[in-house]
Amino acid sequence: MAPDANLVVNMPPSRRRYAYIQPLLNRLLERYNNVWNEPHDITLKPSGELTIECVAVAPEARGKGVGKALMNALIKEGKERCLTSAGISVTMGNEPAEKLYLSIGFKPYITYFEEYFSGYFPGTAKYRLTLISEDSGWQSAPADINDAGKWSN
């Protein structure tokens, strides 16, 4: 599957600056297709309109609300862009991440256990959060969480 040439040409300069160039994109897509050789598999569908690929917090900053702040910023951005849902995956056994995502309102909807990866990976679970209800056009997820764990808009 060849990428659309306009994808790179029409990218904002900030993204082009970080080496999102056609040869790199071609190589990325080739490697992706080698790993996920069934592109029409329903389980490979993105978990949300806003797909959060990776949220990481330095070990010395963990437990201080940094992860929650990062997630809230991403959710706010998704809402501002009028996206209806956000999705994220978590590696099985990463209990702090699972706890964070659940506390924000994400719900697990599909799990790949270690056996799916023939024992080479501990497994992963996909989570989804509704940002804006398609019916009402308004948010169903809170805008922010304060330090006390209470939702605030």
Parse the chain into domains and list their residue ranges.
1-44, 46-152
**pTM summary value:** 0.61
Multiple choice CATH, 46-152, 3.30.420.40, 3.90.1150.10, 3.40.50.620, 3.40.630.30:
3.40.630.30
Which residue would you say has higher pLDDT here, 32 or 17? Answer: 32
Burial of 119 by CB count in 10 Å (0-12 exposed, 13-18 middle, 19+ buried)? exposed
Residue 27: per-residue pLDDT: 78
Residue 138: per-residue pLDDT: 45
Mean pLDDT of 31-53: 70
